[in-house]
Amino acid sequence: MQVDISLKKIEDRSYTIFIEPIEKIRNLSKAVIVTNPKVAGLHLGYLLPKIEASELYIVTLPDGEDYKNEQALNYLLERLFDHKIDRKSTLIAFGGGVIGDMTGFAAAIYQRGIDFIQIPTTLLSQVDASVGGKTGINNRFGKNLIGAFHQPKAVYIDTHFLTTLPQREFAAGVAEIVKMAVVFDKEFFAWLEEHDLYEEEHLKYAIKRSVELKAAIVAKDEREGGMRASLNYGHTFAHVIENETNYKRFLHGEAVAIGMVMANELAKLMDLMSQEDAQRVKTLLEKYNLPTCYEIKDVDSFYEHFFLDKKTQADKIKFVLPRGVGDFVITDSVPKERVFEALKRFTRC
Amino acid sequence: MQVDISLKKIEDRSYTIFIEPIEKIRNLSKAVIVTNPKVAGLHLGYLLPKIEASELYIVTLPDGEDYKNEQALNYLLERLFDHKIDRKSTLIAFGGGVIGDMTGFAAAIYQRGIDFIQIPTTLLSQVDASVGGKTGINNRFGKNLIGAFHQPKAVYIDTHFLTTLPQREFAAGVAEIVKMAVVFDKEFFAWLEEHDLYEEEHLKYAIKRSVELKAAIVAKDEREGGMRASLNYGHTFAHVIENETNYKRFLHGEAVAIGMVMANELAKLMDLMSQEDAQRVKTLLEKYNLPTCYEIKDVDSFYEHFFLDKKTQADKIKFVLPRGVGDFVITDSVPKERVFEALKRFTRC
């Protein structure tokens, strides 16, 4: 005897990313702004008059990746219960990637899911975390190991918040923009070579284009499958670099910048990329003072670290390698010797 | 400037509920059976030879609703990391509702979601928890307040496991079967009046019919909206009874049995149900030795408790009231006096 449960249906989780100064966010019932003390001090005065909610609460969480953990998540969830947040309420993530990931995850599991809005305040979270629906926390086993896919109801990208962003963090965001261009869009890459992102209008266009490119990928592959893996260009190497340096020395975007240069070396050895294209990428990264080298002390150990990544299954490493500029291949059949050859080029910076 | 993120797509989370002796569960890669010590001792010997997985682990969690909490969830998640469970692995929930809810929630948030299979071992979890995709844990603010919707890949209902189920727990499961019949299906109700569920073949048919009825509702309303609320018949009252007795005196199904009788009293006062139909429901429940009365000590206090339910918004109580047998109404406009009148009939048992 059997019963077939039919759950095939059209799901619509579409939303809009607004890349413009926030005017009003209207018609919220209960809402909670989740932010950190620094962003709150700098920008709540700007945001608060723009929010129209029947009740509004503000919860601050400690700043930084070290606090993207279960304790902070539970602290947030408890505040939501204190304020009797119900299923029609909305959480507003107001901060960088850490705030976005934790707020999104809290929204995913609070009473089995409530709405959330993202107002990312760093360039990295504006171009990266605002598309894809990934939410989660870290634990002692690694990063983002507990989480859910939960799409926001809307994202507001307001470059006003970037006026207080330190230069290094700005550049880290640019690294993700460059990544999108190298992998998907050679015209956009050429545009980046010719335009200065310190200019407001250029920056807005670059954010828009990055978001569009990522959205196109995510629409095809909402969960992690084939295409979405292409977003990991530079990241396979970056994760090892971040791991070896205990996530202290480099910002994520900086590690990605180095990771892209490393991936390009491997792409060159595999005859996928010309020296000239590799140099164009490096030059663009250096224009924003991004690091492009990391001195590998022990090539064997660096190689072993690839296998700690949760996306690396069993004994195969999946590399995203650019094919020139504007195209890519995903391959798990790079000979170990080739990888070593590429890594050895980084034993001296 | 804005970017519209289009996430409208056909999602297929369909699965099959098998109501028959388990033969083989094949082709699993890594799998983890999550169970409790009691079920493990009684039934792992029966289950293990039927599971074909490349690697198989067993994790036991403490038994009972008191342990459906964050600590037990974290303990489970940590074991999954210990065993390097990956995104292609499968969790197998082997136990009653508590094991099903916790295992399902762990599967929902482990690396943003992995597969799980349900093998419910109580009658209640076979007819109730196996359809609907609700997963979650309790916390100090209430029951199931943290959770997610996550559908299983398959459900195996094997009445073999019921041979060791205490009579009271069996009856608690029957209460949910009766609930489905009263609300949705008068022919099924009449069938229940005429057939003895202690007989294997009748029991299997009753499980199948209950599961079909619930599946039809859930398919229309996967998340909690209008129709799905009809499943709360008896529950609005049951939650208060369980709360007043600290979840100690009655099993959930027993509280639901009393709750249905209370809802019927209110339905009678609202001219929705005849005395005769109310008596038929009561007689059927009593046939399985289910309680049908709870002595309300303080009607005011009982009434106030309605508002603690997470499904009760603001100052309106939503009642699911039967319209005869086999139909229902959902209403939030029952006059307070009517509710008091119904409750007063239970100040003495």
The structural domains of chain A, with segments of one domain joined by +, span 16-163, 166-344
Q: Per the CB < 8 Å rule, is A18 touching B2? A: yes
Active site residue A252: yes
pLDDT of residue B1: 87
Q: Which residues contact A56 (CB under 8 A, 6 or more apart)?
A: A28, A30, A31, A32, A33, A48
A113 vs A104: CA distance, rounded Å: 10
- What is the layout of strands, in order, in the sheet containing B2-5? A51-60, A25-35, A90-95, A115-120, A154-157, A15-19, B2-5
Round to whole Å and give the CA distance between A165 and B302.
55
Q: Dihedral sign for Cα A323, A329, A335, A340, please.
A: positive
Amino acid residing at A233: Y
H/E stretch holding A78: helix A70-82
Q: Which of A78, A109, A131 sits opposite B5 (nearest CB)?
A: A131
* Chain B residues close to A211, C-beta within 8 Å: 3
- What pLDDT, on a 0 to 100 scale, did the predictor assign at position A40? 96
Q: Is the separation of the CB atoms in B50 and B22 below 8 Å? A: yes
pLDDT at B224: 60
Closest CA to A133 of A285, A11, A266, A43: A11
Residue in the structure block whose two tokens are 């299983």: B152
What residues are paired with A6 via a beta bridge? none
For the stretch B35-67, pLDDT in tens is 999 999 999 999 999 999 999 999 999 988 899
A16 among annotated binding-site residues = no
B65 annotated binding-site participant: yes
Chain B contact for A222, CB < 8 A? Answer: yes
Rounded to a whole number of angstroms, the distance from the CA of B9 to the nearest CA of chain A is 5
Question: What is the DSSP-derived secondary structure letter of residue B128?
Answer: I
A13-26 b/e (C-beta count within 10 Å ≥ 16 → b): bebebbbeebeebe
Q: Phi then psi for A95, rounded to 5 degrees? A: 165, -155
User: Which residues on B lie below 8 Å from A112 (Cβ)?
Assistant: 134-136, 144, 147-149, 223-224
- B276: tokens are 């005769």
A 319-348 residues with CB < 8 A to B: none
Sequence-separated (6 or more) residues with CB below 8 Å from residue A276: none
**In this complex, do A113 and B149 lie within 8 Å of one another by their Cβ atoms?**
yes
pLDDT tens sequence for chain B (349 residues): 888 888 887 888 899 999 999 999 998 999 999 999 999 999 999 999 999 999 999 999 998 889 999 999 999 999 999 999 999 999 999 999 999 999 999 999 999 999 999 999 999 999 987 888 999 999 998 889 999 999 999 999 999 999 999 999 999 999 999 999 999 999 999 999 999 999 999 999 999 999 999 998 887 766 666 778 888 999 999 999 999 999 889 999 999 999 999 999 999 999 999 999 999 999 999 999 999 999 999 999 999 988 876 555 556 788 999 999 999 999 988 999 999 999 999 998 8
> Position of tokens 């119900």?
A86
| Residue B277 confidence (pLDDT) | 97
State how far the Cα of B348 lies from the Cα of B338, in Å rounded to an integer: 18
Alpha helices in chain B (DSSP H): 37-47, 70-82, 97-109, 123-124, 167-184, 186-194, 200-220, 235-244, 252-269, 275-287, 299-305, 336-344
Say how far apart CA A265 and CA A334 lie, in whole Å.
13
Q: What is the pLDDT along chain A (349 residues), one digit of tens a residue?
A: 888 888 887 888 899 999 999 999 998 999 999 999 999 999 999 999 999 999 999 999 998 889 999 999 999 999 999 999 999 999 999 999 999 999 999 999 999 999 999 999 999 999 987 888 999 999 998 889 999 999 999 999 999 999 999 999 999 999 999 999 999 999 999 999 999 999 999 999 999 999 999 998 887 765 666 778 888 999 999 999 999 999 889 999 999 999 999 999 999 999 999 999 999 999 999 999 999 999 999 999 999 988 876 555 556 788 999 999 999 999 988 999 999 999 999 998 8
ipTM for the predicted complex: 0.85
d(CA B26, CA B21): 15
Quickly name the fold that domain A16-163 has: Rossmann fold (3.40.50)
- Check if the beta carbon of residue A343 is closer than 8 Å to that of residue A299: yes
The residue type of B164 is T
CATH for the A166-344 domain, from 1.20.1090.10, 3.30.565.10, 2.60.40.10, 3.60.15.10: 1.20.1090.10
Q: Do A219 and B88 touch (CB under 8 A)?
A: no
- Give contacts of A 242-281 with B, CB under 8 A: none
